[in-house]
Structure 1
Amino acid sequence: MTSMNDRVVPPAARRRRRPTKTGVVLSEELIVETALRLLKEHGADALTVRRLGLALGADPTALYRYFRDTDDLLLAIADELIGRTLRTWRPAGDWRADLRDLGLRIHAGALSHPQAAVLSSYRVTGRVHEIEAVETILGVLRRAGFPDPDAVRIYHAFVDQSLAFAALDAASLALPRAARDAEAGVWRATYARLPADTHPHIAATARHLLVDMRRSAYPVALDMLLTAAAACLEEVTEHAGHAGPFQARAEDQESARP
């Protein structure tokens, strides 16, 4: 889409639009939902005005009333994926269990729309669902007792880890089936056959590699992060009033720089 900022109108004006010739009443929600479906079925090339217009039964130029360009639409898609995660998440009051559940839901949500996740997982939307997610996660951490500097650093690590694994695993899922099968076969055809005299560590662990490399490492990495955060919270609790451990380490690293 070419930038058409002057065509974007306020939400109230959009709602007053008449149905299209095919009877479709356009909305941001409908356009985003259709874009997600096209991405899932046809990949990134489907994200064009013409293909969206055809799928919606609407004049493609009508989409400019809702989104300035494809990047604006992509931000809305990213925000919708965040919103879907938040709508299905219910905190139980245990900060570690709550963040683990949320992280796994973020990851699963991305894998349910791998093409969209590859395109949008690294974007900062500044939209309503992303803002809600930032507020929610920081609230979980602050209520758990993390000092503000530590809460921000753990939030940052948690979100970046979740989105990084989401992008990595989504990119793998977005590959054609033949390419995915070929990559999985490398562990069996190459690594499992390396001799112990030249590659003793790979040979010793080959049977475990064949099993473990088929699945995402995200749950393990998430547990490691949360275990480290829990240890830091314990340290904060024991030394109340002192700088948080993450803050102290960051300041040490800063002072060590030339």
Structure 2
Amino acid sequence: MAPPDRVTAERRRRRPTKSGVVLSAELILDAALELLDEHGAEALTIRRLGTALGADPSAVYRYYRGAEDLLLALGDRLIGEALDGFRPEDHDDWAAALRDFGLRAYRAALRHPRVAVLSSYRVTRRPHEQRAVETGVGLLRRAGFDDATAVRHYHAFVDTVLGHAALDAAVLRLPADQRAGDEQAWSEAYAQLPADDFPHLNAVRDHLPTMAGPAVEHALDLLLAALRAQAPA
């Protein structure tokens, strides 16, 4: 028989809210994600979350210790989205698997840019993150790197991916007119600089508009080419 405190907790979790919804950890995360996506970090308070759920705010504390705990759980959910459907064995080699893994993490972050900006530099300590680190380090060990080097290379790899994700997520959060102005600067202000003063920029002026787009794939390819060259296997 389950201990009395466990039974009580389970009964509390099954109790419907005022709106008739039965709370769960995932349902709370859904509501928190919606608040963040729509209103930003200021909206992620336990009080506002309780209102969105139609529940007393104290009910949220049965699942999460507070806004910080929720944020880490949301960051872990993004990692889970990146891992969903990812199978290293579907790729020809470890580097191709790492590239796919990195791009999945980047795209998951951009689906929820507000969460990415707030959580990409944190350590969630949760199952999806643990599985991601296990997967990435495992691929690098498969490449023949010793244990210390595999960890060091994974650190560089994941920081490259998350750094680009946070940067591009911040760009997506800019007002549309600011974003358009920054993009036009490469084809207007920079491309029209005088050749006498800026000979190199003048020489590459036709290619400068590409600076407005994401650079994550190119950065990953450069990093993976360096890792391939060093791989013992």
TM-score (norm. length: structure 1):
0.83
Alpha-carbon distance between aligned partners in 1 of 2:194 and 2:7, rounded to the nearest angstrom = 65
* Alpha-carbon spacing, 1:14–1:178, altered in 2? closer, same or farther (3 Å): farther
Aligned to 2:9: 13
> Is 2:227 the counterpart of 1:229?
yes
Describe the superposition over 1:60-97 as per-residue Cα deviations: whole angstroms up to 9, x where unpaired: 22111111111111110111111111113122242011
Alpha-carbon distance between aligned partners in 1 of 2:11 and 2:175, rounded to the nearest angstrom = 40
> Is 2:29 the counterpart of 1:27?
no
8 Å CA contact 2:110, 2:169 repeated in 1: yes
* Alpha-carbon spacing, 1:104–1:220, altered in 2? closer, same or farther (3 Å): same
Aligned to 2:76: 79
Aligned to 2:145: 146
Where structure 2 has 5 or more consecutive residues not aligned to the other structure, the ranges are none
1:197-216 alignment runs, 5 A limit? 197-210=196-209, 212-216=210-214
1:68-217 alignment runs, 5 A limit? 68-91=65-88, 92-93=90-91, 94-210=93-209, 212-217=210-215
Alpha-carbon distance between aligned partners in 1 of 2:39 and 2:118, rounded to the nearest angstrom = 14
Aligned to 2:41: 44
Residue 75 of structure 1 aligns to which amino acid in structure 2?
Answer: L
Shift of 1:126: 0.9
Residue 218 of structure 2 aligns to which amino acid in structure 1?
Answer: V
Alpha-carbon distance between aligned partners in 1 of 2:54 and 2:7, rounded to the nearest angstrom = 21
Alpha-carbon distance between aligned partners in 2 of 1:88 and 1:114, rounded to the nearest angstrom = 21
Number of matched pairs: 226
Residue 81 of structure 1 aligns to which amino acid in structure 2?
Answer: L
Q: What's the RMSD between the two structures over aligned residues?
A: 1.8
Alpha-carbon distance between aligned partners in 2 of 1:19 and 1:184, rounded to the nearest angstrom = 49
8 Å CA contact 1:20, 1:58 repeated in 2: yes
Shift of 1:170: 0.6
8 Å CA contact 2:141, 2:150 repeated in 1: yes
8 Å CA contact 1:79, 1:127 repeated in 2: yes
* Alpha-carbon spacing, 1:134–1:183, altered in 2? closer, same or farther (3 Å): same
* Alpha-carbon spacing, 1:225–1:49, altered in 2? closer, same or farther (3 Å): same
* Alpha-carbon spacing, 1:146–1:68, altered in 2? closer, same or farther (3 Å): same
* Alpha-carbon spacing, 1:129–1:201, altered in 2? closer, same or farther (3 Å): same
Describe the superposition over 1:111-170 as per-residue Cα deviations: whole angstroms up to 9, x where unpaired: 100000000000011111111111111111112222212211111111111111111111
Residue 151 of structure 1 aligns to which amino acid in structure 2?
Answer: A
Residue 225 of structure 1 aligns to which amino acid in structure 2?
Answer: L
- Which deviates more, 128-137 or 38-47? 38-47
* Alpha-carbon spacing, 1:15–1:35, altered in 2? closer, same or farther (3 Å): farther
Alpha-carbon distance between aligned partners in 2 of 1:215 and 1:123, rounded to the nearest angstrom = 26
